[in-house]
Amino acid sequence: MSGKFTNLLPGVPSVESPFFKQIFADPSIDAETLRVATDLNRDGYAIIKFPDDDFDAIAAGIKSSLHDQYDWATWREKWYDAKVGLRVLDAWKTDENVRRIATNAKVIDLLSKLFGRQAWPFQTLNFPVGTQQHVHSDSIHFSSVPERFMCGVWTALEDIGEDAGPLLYYPGSHKWPVYTNEHIGYCATEPVTETNKMDYETMWDALIEAHGATPAIFTPKKGESVIWLSNLLHGGLEHNNKEKTRWSQVTHYYFEGCAYYRPFRSDPFYGSIYFSKMNDMIIGKPVKHQYSGFDIPESFIDSSFNNCSAQKAVIPADFDPQQYLLANPDVFEAGEDPVLHYRLHGWREGRRLRPE
């Protein structure tokens, strides 16, 4: 065989492709991109320096503008011991510095080269303290068809030590199969079945033991970012010093030409797909769901989405969306609308309306 390499699996991210070596043998790929690609392919994550010369000013601006949006007193008095973090969802809509990080052209260009499709940001999360999250795979919350066309970029807005809830990863776990509802025997559509993220957490813990996997801990300097692949098991260590902060931003990215959905809320072969209806924050327009180059009909998207639950609850008069998210961090982490989540799932799962 001679000539330019033809990728016969365009529905697999380049960085995870079985043809990885052939794809990244292209002489036009610069050394740093190849380094990041190699780290991602091997470990499932890669560390970069965030590419903005004004990063110190951006970080200071975010900390200043978002500080008063967090309930610091309640976190120190109650939520800290309950291992509930503080966060602001989609601050890019109101904060230009958050948006600047999320839409950084160099990051988006790098991700597009790594995946072989154009990247676009769809969500931001801003944290002032450690999340103390159990290890998890983003694949149950944010997925695509073809699968794995999603990634996250976590950026440190200050130096973060071991006592401030640093990140941990299980290198190589991104290569494991993607396990969703059908694998653990759960049907999200039927009210007679019940589960929550604990079922997945038990499964992930068992997989770690079965594989003999060992974690890596990331204690970054301000301005360092980590890119991680969607199926990588990752989480946050305990925030052992409540007097310390852990300012950071996560941006989640999808890639063009896919269908985007939430597996944890979906049963595709039972007629219900929880499609993610989103805007590309760069262009401010809805993103089309596509399958092999064809637009998926809106009628199919709407009917599949509506089938996600045959029964829907009435929202309580005292329902507070922000309190609901604080009481149910997994709903927040999944980027789900709190009102819609309660109507479709929260009521029958016995979810709390506010933190205890």
Q: 261 or 333: which carries more pLDDT confidence?
A: 261
* SS3 state at 66: helix
The reported pLDDT for the residue numbered 309 is 59
Confidence of residue 332 (pLDDT cuts 50, 70, 90): confident
pLDDT in tens, 168-188: 999 999 999 999 999 998 888
310 sits in which H/E element = none
pLDDT value for 253: 97
Residue 1 pLDDT = 44
Mean pLDDT of 343-352: 76
Could you read off the pLDDT of 41-98 as tens digits, one per residue? 999 999 999 999 999 999 999 999 999 999 898 888 887 777 778 889 999 999 999 9
Other Cβ atoms closer than 10 A to 63: 16
Model pTM above 0.95: no
CATH of 14-310, one of 1.10.10.10, 2.60.120.620, 3.30.530.50, 2.60.40.1180: 2.60.120.620
CA distance 145 to 343: 26
Cβ atoms < 10 Å from Cβ of 318: 8
Residue ranges with strand state E in the chain: 45-49, 88-89, 119-127, 143-145, 150-156, 167-169, 216-218, 224-229, 234-236, 248-255, 259-261, 279-280, 285-286, 290-291, 294-295
Q: How confident is the model at residue 234, as a pLDDT?
A: 97
Residue pLDDT, tens place only, 93-147: 999 999 999 999 999 999 999 999 999 999 999 999 998 888 999 999 999 999 9
**pLDDT tens by residue, 236-268:** 998 888 889 999 999 999 999 999 999 988 999
Predicted local distance difference test score (pLDDT) of residue 256: 96
Report DSSP state, residue 343.
I
Ranges for all domains in the chain classified under CATH 2.60.120.620: 14-310
Please give the single-letter amino acid code of residue 47. Answer: I
Both tokens assigned to 263: 């597996």
